[in-house]
Amino acid sequence: MAPISTPQTPFGRVLTAMVTPFTADGALDLDGAQRLATHLVDAGNDGLIVNGTTGESPTTTDAEKSQLVRAVLEAVGDRAHVVAGIGTNDTRHTLELTRAAERAGAHGLLAVTPYYNKPPQEGLYRHFSAIADATELPVMLYDIPGRSGVPIDTETLVRLAEHPRVVANKDAKGDLGRASWAIARSGLAWYSGDDMLNLPLLSVGACGFVSVVGHVVAPELRAMLEAFLAGDVQKSTEIHQRLLPVFTGMFRTQGVMTTKAALALQGLPAGPLRLPLVGLTDEETAQLKVDLAAGGVQL
């Protein structure tokens, strides 16, 4: 059974977009995925995104994606929302992944904006509507124009919010003004998809985070959110400021690369990356250690 959700927090509040652990030879490490998922939930995450970009979804097979959903559900599905990334730039393929994730038992779906082919807003509307029509699961949109090349316009978000299964948006647009209008007009549950803007987005109506740094500072993220919700803005700001070195350090280069390096430094399951991603250099690892230590992360 899925964890309890509300219309205001359909996927929980603190979610980490989980990396996909691999074995030394590059195969899927399901045991490692279960151990990592358990660690993340124990640390304060009440939701996990699997098969997202941070999970190296561009280089995992459809079969691996289903295996990963099932493994993570087995490990933590009674304690956390397990949301499956299903987005591609091919609507037909996305619908196949949507149905597969539902069969695997996912609690919800994350649908990224189709990338590279740069569809118009009507194309985005039809793409996301087709996903929502093809499933009984709640859908979180993922608006990240820096990767996809196309933003989801506010008018499109408002139209999509009319669908009963489009319930949330992961916002990595980096525009607080546009977020403010979209939150007010759409009524969607709003999740920060940019760790540096976690606290600012709460101030304009976000309900939680889909985080990368949640791999290493989930307790702090939860404390910041709970302080804000309790009205202690000073405390939440202090936590935000303490975490600035982590927010900066984890994105000095590609986020999956730094995250897997950080997990390895802590002795947690991660493993190698699949090309075209590569491991950090010695210099980059040294800088990451400095950044994490400055943010209070124990290595």
Average pLDDT over residues 202-219: 98
**Band of the pLDDT at 131, cuts 50, 70, 90?**
very high
Residues 168 and 161: their CA atoms lie apart, in Å, by 8
- CB-CB contact of 20 with 56 (8 Å): yes
Q: Name the strand (E) or helix (H) holding 178.
A: helix 176-186
Q: Residue 121 pLDDT > 80, yes or no?
A: yes
Q: Angle at CA 171, nearest 5°, toward 85 and 158?
A: 95
The burial of 145, by beta-carbon neighbours within 10 Å (0-12 exposed, 13-18 middle, 19 or more buried), is given as middle
User: Which residues fall within 8 angstroms of residue 91, CB to CB, at 6 or more apart?
Assistant: 114, 126, 127, 130, 131
User: Is 260 part of the annotated catalytic residue set?
Assistant: no
Q: Does pLDDT of 108 surpass 60?
A: yes
Write down the pLDDT at residue 4.
Answer: 64
Task: Tally Cβ neighbours within 10 Å of residue 211.
Answer: 26
**Domain count along the chain:** 1
Q: What is the pLDDT of residue 291?
A: 98
CATH number, residue 208:
3.20.20.70
Averaged pLDDT, 40-69: 98
Helices 91-104 and 62-76: crossing angle, nearest 10°? 30
In a domain, 37, yes or no: yes
The residue segments making up the domain with residue 173 are 14-231
pLDDT band with cut points at 50, 70 and 90 for residue 142: very high
- 54 a known binding residue? yes
What's at 38, amino acid-wise?
T
The residue count of the chain comes to 299
Whether 2 has a pLDDT exceeding 70, the answer reads: no
Residue 244's pLDDT band (cuts 50, 70, 90): very high
The token duo for 22 is 């691999």
- Give burial (CB, 10 Å; 0-12/13-18/19+) of 96: middle
**Does 168 reside within a domain?**
yes
Q: How far is CA 183 from the centre of its chain?
A: 19
Asked if the structure places residue 275 within a domain, the reply is no
Of the residues 65, 125, 170, 173, which is catalytic?
A: 170
Whether 19 maps to a domain, the answer reads: yes
Q: Within a domain: residue 237?
A: no
SS (H, E, C) 261-288: HHHHHCCCCCCCCCCCCCCCCHHHHHHH
Output the average pLDDT for the chain.
Answer: 97
> Measuring CA to CA, which residue among 257, 211, 203 is closest to residue 231?
203
pLDDT score of 187 = 96
Q: Tell me the whole-structure pTM to 2 decimals.
A: 0.96
CA 80 remoteness from chain centre: 14
Rounded distance between C-alpha atoms, residue 270 and residue 81, angstroms: 21
> Looking at residue 299, what is its pLDDT?
86
**60 assigned binding-site residue:** no
Q: What is the pLDDT of residues 23-38, one digit of tens each?
A: 999 999 999 999 999 9
Active-site residue identified among 115, 125, 142, 191: 142
- Per residue in 260-284, pLDDT (tens digit) is 999 999 999 999 999 999 999 999 9
Active site residue 191: no
Q: Is residue 205 part of a domain?
A: yes
Res 290: pLDDT: 98
Reported as a single tens digit per residue, the pLDDT across 229-243 is: 999 999 999 999 999
Rounded mean pLDDT of 64-85? 98
pLDDT grade for 1, boundaries at 50, 70 and 90 = low
